[in-house]
Amino acid sequence: MTTLERFFDGDQSALARIISFVENREEGYQTVLSRVYPKSGKALRIGFTGPPGAGKSSLVNNISKVLASEGKRVAVIAVDPTSPFTGGALLGDRVRLTDMPIDGSIYIRSMATRGSTGGLAAATGNVAAVLDAFGYEYILIETVGVGQIELDIVDACDSVVVVLVPESGDAIQTLKAGLMEIADVFVVNKADRPGVDNIVMELNMTLDIRREKSDWEHPVVATEAINNKNTDKLIEKVKNHVEFSKTSGRFESHRKAQIRKKIYSILAFNVNGMIREKLAHLTDVDRAVSDIYQGKSDPYTVSQELLKLSDIDLSFS
């Protein structure tokens, strides 16, 4: 049996192998994905984002256990941006998802950026599709809300939970607009700390404007992940959002928009690769660079010329 056949047969080790294969973009990974994708689409993807240390992992941990106890098959993808700016600060007392008791029903995978964010959103989407095709019913994706790549990752989810803490209160007005806009459910975690009521009130006030423009009443849930408090309430709100989304048609339109983005990103990635490969063999590039440097040509004219010279075939044989 091939690895792919074993994968479709439900073999866990084949799943791990396929995920690494796809994540590392090993030779032939696009063919594997084209076999996997048609079997995906049934799982719900729930994104969790928010500032470092807000309690995302703790919440995801609690939620997965509840869903697993309901008999659901749950997979967690933890996207870890090892940014030089945040890398050090993040390592303190954070909860590691791998500490979760494994009973076979919860699958945990972490995706590290290893210093470069290139292609991380695409790789995360592909790994989610693999888990989905394997039969996981819930895919919980955790990522720190620090940059555009992380926003892209959660935006590809069916529902997005933004996790804040009482200390985020003063920062609400300045919170990255993108983060606020993609959220469907808001959580104020660490509700055991002072200032919860204030931030919940402030959030509700900020959200009123958005709620007026939408049929969805963005909820704000106060949780204490450390004491497993209000986990059920949060799950209920997320499930409500999925329900709302499905009945309003937003679920389908959002998924279709994601598919459209995916097509464009595959095309851009492949065309980009092809151009680099072709140009690497053209000595004309060095000459062109000198010409532009000396003011004899310009990058736009050169690009047109190189495109003609490189004889790029866009048919993806």
Select the residue interacting with ligand GTP from 2, 34, 84, 93 (CB under 6 A). 93
Q: In the complex, which residues of this chain contact Mg ion (CB under 5 A)?
A: 56-57
CB 177 within 8 A of CB 201: no
Question: What letter does residue 10 receive in the DSSP assignment?
Answer: T
CB 147 within 8 A of CB 43: no
Query: Which CB, 108 or 130, lies closer to Mg ion?
Result: 108
CB of 306 to Mg ion, least distance (A): 45
Query: Which CB, 95 or 274, lies closer to ligand GTP?
Result: 95
Select the residue interacting with ligand GTP from 58, 64, 159, 230 (CB under 6 A). 58
From the list Mg ion, ligand GTP, none, partner contacted by residue 190 (C-beta under 5 to 8 A by kind)? ligand GTP
Residues 152-191 that bind ligand GTP (CB under 6 A): 189-190
CB burial of residue 43 (10 Å; 0-12, 13-18, 19+): buried
95 binds ligand GTP (CB under 6 A): yes
| Distance, CA of 277 to CA of 269 (rounded, Å) | 12
For the chain, report the end-to-end CA distance as a whole number of angstroms: 27
Q: What are the φ/ψ torsions at residue 241 (nearest 5 degrees)?
A: -65, -40
| Distance, CA of 62 to CA of 181 (rounded, Å) | 25
49 binds ligand GTP (CB under 6 A): no
> How many CB atoms are located within 10 Å of the residue 180 CB?
18
CB of 147 to ligand GTP, least distance (A): 13
State how far Cα 113 lies from the chain centre: 12
What phi-psi label fits residue 109: left (phi over 0), alpha (psi between -120 and 50 degrees) or beta?
Answer: beta
Stretch that binds ligand GTP, among 12-20, 51-59, 131-139, 246-254 (CB under 6 A): 51-59
Question: What letter does residue 224 receive in the DSSP assignment?
Answer: B
CB of 111 to Mg ion, least distance (A): 13
135 binds ligand GTP (CB under 6 A): no
Query: Which CB, 86 or 105, lies closer to Mg ion?
Result: 86
CB of 280 to Mg ion, least distance (A): 39
From the list Mg ion, ligand GTP, none, partner contacted by residue 93 (C-beta under 5 to 8 A by kind)? ligand GTP
| Residue count, binding to ligand GTP (CB under 6 A) | 19
| Distance, CA of 83 to CA of 114 (rounded, Å) | 8
53 binds ligand GTP (CB under 6 A): yes
Please report, for residues 22, 121, 260, 262, the alpha-carbon distance to residue 266 in angstroms, rounded to integers and kept in the order given: 14, 12, 10, 6
Q: Which amino acid would we find at residue 85? A: F
CB of 54 to ligand GTP, least distance (A): 4
Select the residue interacting with ligand GTP from 11, 192, 284, 291 (CB under 6 A). 192
CB 106 within 8 A of CB 74: yes
Query: Which CB, 32 or 144, lies closer to ligand GTP?
Result: 144
Q: Name the site residues for ligand GTP (rule: CB under 6 A).
A: 52-58, 90, 93-95, 144, 189-190, 192-193, 224-226
